[in-house]
Amino acid sequence: MRIPALAALFSVVFLGSSLVEAVEIRGQYLESRTCDVYTGPCFANGEMGLVGKEAVMAWKVEEGSWNGTSLEGLSVAVVLKAEGTLGDDGIFPMRAGHIKSVILVDEQASDEQHLALVDFAKDAAARYTDDITRVDRVPLSLENDYHSVEGVFKAGDLAEIHTRKLDDGDCICTNEMVYFQPLTDVRYATPAYTLKQKYDGEGLNCRWSNEGSRSAFMAIFKK
């Protein structure tokens, strides 16, 4: 099973990165979609335009600031609903059509940090935040284990992602690959198995729950 063997490098790269370059902000990233991102091309082509119209993207700032405001320890998320399949295969973008988004902001943020987190999310997910229907303050938590590829994101009762590492039992056609790329600019992205993904909030005219799919990415971000 050809899964990128990057998980063991996460901690070294993440902790040592400050020695080789100066960045304004860095941290953890977790994403889950409603279609497989690690899959065979024949499966992906057969699902095009039918699934993958929803996604949850989450960032946790480990170090740094945005617009001069420190965001260390705070999180933000963007939840998406499109008319068509989101993302691209590294060559051609999908015809996602109109996209609505909701931004979830860490309730621990001050008013100044709230504004900075919203601006950061709009910059990080610029392709998907032209039509923001809601900005909600909620308790956010994100913890990624880069060795086991277990990620846990929670946004109160509104949104959730829980992932695990892909294993041999997740291989279906023996021709799997990272078909879809992450929705945003991240580093050292590795595909993961979604144990649970949900959105149960307002603003997108739909709610969903997705379980048991190869639909997630774990990564780090730096800007």
- In sign, the C-alpha dihedral spanning 191, 160, 198, 94 is negative
- The rounded distance, in Å, linking the Cα atoms of 159 and 173 is 31
pTM: 0.87
Residue 190 lies in a domain: yes
Q: Which structural domain, as residue segments, surrounds residue 35?
A: 7-18+26-222
Count CB-CB contacts under 10 A for residue 49. Answer: 13
Residue 188 lies in a domain: yes
DSSP per-residue codes, 81-127: EESS--SB-SSSB----SEEEEEEEETT--HHHHHHHHHHHHHHTGG
The CA-atom distances, in angstroms, between 203 and each of 97, 132, 141 are 17, 9, 21
Which pLDDT belongs to residue 20? Answer: 44
- The rounded distance, in Å, linking the Cα atoms of 130 and 156 is 25
Residue 40 lies in a domain: yes
Residue 40 has φ and ψ, to the nearest 5°, of -80, 145
Which pLDDT belongs to residue 15? Answer: 45
Give the H/E segment covering residue 41. Answer: helix 41-47
- The rounded distance, in Å, linking the Cα atoms of 127 and 114 is 21
pLDDT in tens, the chain (223 residues): 555 544 544 444 444 444 445 568 999 999 999 999 987 666 566 666 578 899 999 999 999 999 999 999 999 999 999 999 998 765 666 689 999 999 999 999 999 999 999 999 999 999 999 999 999 999 999 999 999 999 999 999 999 999 999 998 877 777 777 888 999 999 999 999 999 999 999 999 999 999 999 999 999 999 9
Give the H/E segment covering residue 14. Answer: helix 10-16
Which pLDDT belongs to residue 16? Answer: 46
Could you tell me which residues are beta bridge partners of residue 79? 56, 102
Residue 71 lies in a domain: yes
Residue 137 lies in a domain: yes
Q: Decide: helix, strand or coil at residue 3.
A: coil
Which residue, chain included where needed, has tokens 């899959």? 39
Under a CB-based contact definition with an 8 Å cutoff, are residues 34 and 51 in contact? yes
Residue 211 lies in a domain: yes
Which pLDDT belongs to residue 208? Answer: 97
Which pLDDT belongs to residue 84? Answer: 93
Domain count, the chain: 1
Q: What is the DSSP letter of 170?
A: G
Which pLDDT belongs to residue 88? Answer: 76
Residue 1 lies in a domain: no
Residue 76 lies in a domain: yes
Which pLDDT belongs to residue 222? Answer: 97
